[in-house]
Amino acid sequence: MKLSGQQLKDFDELGYIFMPDCFPPEAVALLQREAAVIFSEQREEIWREKSGAPRTAFACHQYNKAFALVASDSRLIEPLQQLFGEQVYIHQFKINAKAAFTGDVWQWHQDFPTWHADDGMPDARAMNIAIFLDEVMPINGPLMVVPRSHKSGALKSNHDKGTTSYPLWTLDNETVTRLVAENGIVAPTGKPGGVLMFHANMVHGSSGNITPYPRRIVYLTLSAVSNAIKNPTRPEFIAHRDFTPVRSENIDALVDYARA
């Protein structure tokens, strides 16, 4: 799985690449079932809102075989090896639930400032890959991105520990207003199985979900091995300390497992 010249150009100019139908329906059906099982459990790696609604299941690739296969899927690993020109390791893995009716907001932010401040990541040589587990629609709290915002580098961010149950380094309204005035906002939507790769300094966020449609997204964070974190302050299940390069799985591994 290599990115095309056009995809590389889009990533460089816009800061993101959207790949509809990246994972086949059989693989997605398996992941949907497994995600439901994961969120039905009580574990310290699963965070919930004060209301009890599920928010984030961290590190489920460490105890769930289907998600372990996602975390090393060649569709995701090889493009990042290509972009960074070296081996990658898993910095973080999570399912963000954005539950029906109760899914909460993700404030405007860039990912790198959180990794830098909280985990001691040296550079923006890491990025998030979003894998849609449910259909992402304009109405169910889609991820919104500000195209070209990655060109601004790491912007001044403030540690927001109060707006939601998830502490995050967020951007102020003036900064977001300025960037959006220049470049607008895009919300990539589509069927389960779609994949969005976006630059670590891409400005993004999402509103709450008051619809009956859940909007679960898996986030795989891959970092260049040379960019390993230096002083993590968060638990191991949020910022991994194992910098072993990922060995990418055969492209059929997930579907084979679904059929087994």
Q: How far apart are CA 239 and CA 232, in angstroms?
A: 7
Cβ-count burial 99-129 (b if 16+ within 10 Å, e if not): bbebbbebbbbbbbbbbbebbebeebbbbbb
- Does 206 participate in binding ligand 6CS (rule CB under 6 A)? no
In the complex, what is the shortest distance from the CB of residue 187 to ligand 6CS, in angstroms, rounded to a whole number? 16
DSSP H/E element including 194: none
- Does 111 participate in binding Fe ion (rule CB under 5 A)? yes
Pick the stretch among 81-89, 105-113, 190-198, 233-241 that binds Fe ion (CB under 5 A). 105-113
- Does 64 participate in binding ligand 6CS (rule CB under 6 A)? no
In the complex, what is the shortest distance from the CB of residue 101 to ligand 6CS, in angstroms, rounded to a whole number? 21
Partner in contact with 115, chosen from ligand 6CS, Fe ion, none, beta carbon below 5 to 8 Å by kind: ligand 6CS
Pick the stretch among 17-25, 103-111, 141-149, 222-230 that binds ligand 6CS (CB under 6 A). 103-111
Q: How far apart are CA 81 and CA 223, in angstroms?
A: 9
Write each residue from 128 to 167 as x if it is in contact with ligand 6CS (CB under 6 A), else as -, in one continuous string: x---------------------------------------
Cα–chain center distance at 126: 11
Q: Taking the CA atoms of the chain, what radius of gyration do you get in angstroms? A: 17
- The SS3 assignment for 67 reads helix
Among 106, 108, 132, 237, binds ligand 6CS (CB under 6 A): 106
Cβ-count burial 162-186 (b if 16+ within 10 Å, e if not): eebebebbbbeeebbeebbeebeeb
Among 64, 72, 81, 92, binds ligand 6CS (CB under 6 A): 92
Cα–chain center distance at 246: 17
E-assigned strand segments in 66-163: 88-96, 106-109, 126-132, 144-145, 158-160
Partner in contact with 92, chosen from Fe ion, ligand 6CS, none, beta carbon below 5 to 8 Å by kind: ligand 6CS
Partner in contact with 209, chosen from Fe ion, ligand 6CS, none, beta carbon below 5 to 8 Å by kind: none
Of the two residues 96 and 102, which places its CB atom closer to ligand 6CS in the complex?
A: 96
- Does 115 participate in binding ligand 6CS (rule CB under 6 A)? yes
Count residues binding ligand 6CS (CB under 6 A): 9
DSSP H/E element including 198: strand 195-199
What are the residues binding ligand 6CS (CB under 6 A)?
Answer: 92, 106, 109, 111, 114-115, 128, 168, 221
